[in-house]
Amino acid sequence: MAEDGAVDQETQREEIATLLKTPLCRGETWYLVSSDWFRQWKKYVGFDSWGRCQTGDRNIYPGPVDNFSLLKVGDKLDIKEHLIDELDYIMVPTEGWNKLVRWYGLTDGQEPIARKVVLGGMFVKHHKVEVYLTKLNLCENSNMDSTVTRRFSKADTIGMIRLFFSIAVGY
């Protein structure tokens, strides 16, 4: 587990606050972080001005980043359906994620929940983080008895999907 002692709480607070204001750019990777864990971190570093009296209190140390509340039961890679931004999770850019993991570590057995920024909107296009990936069932030569299921981003190319499939089926 990482120890936050190398970087003081004020520095953590300022660096993450700045990074959370980063505009979304197509193709970048952002990470989902459980709102429960993030709220605890905010208390610990005194992120909100009204909560600064507890800054650095070891009793509220958040521990490793823990996204268990975002994951489907028994699955360490697939997230629950119907999660709500800000209520269930917050999104941080890659640099912010790397800092949080360096300072606090990541709960054993969990994988980062990385998502791409894509262009969305039917009439008015805007950048958004693609929280839910598209599920594809892949098979060779229409052999539906032997399929590989995987979730892909809208930003993934056919070449990337073909590469994954060739690795998954071993050719």
pLDDT at residue 8 greater than cutoff 70: yes
Cα–Cα distances in Å, from 50 out to 15, 46, 54, 94? 19, 8, 10, 28
pLDDT tens readout for residues 108-155: 989 999 999 988 777 888 898 888 777 777 777 776 777 777 677 777
At 104, list the tokens.
């606090």
Domains of the chain: 4-129 (3.30.2230.10), 134-169 (no CATH)
Q: What is the mean pLDDT of residues 94-98?
A: 98
Percentage of the chain beyond pLDDT 90 is 48
Q: Is 25 helix (H, G, I), strand (E, B) or coil?
A: coil
pLDDT at residue 5 greater than cutoff 80: no
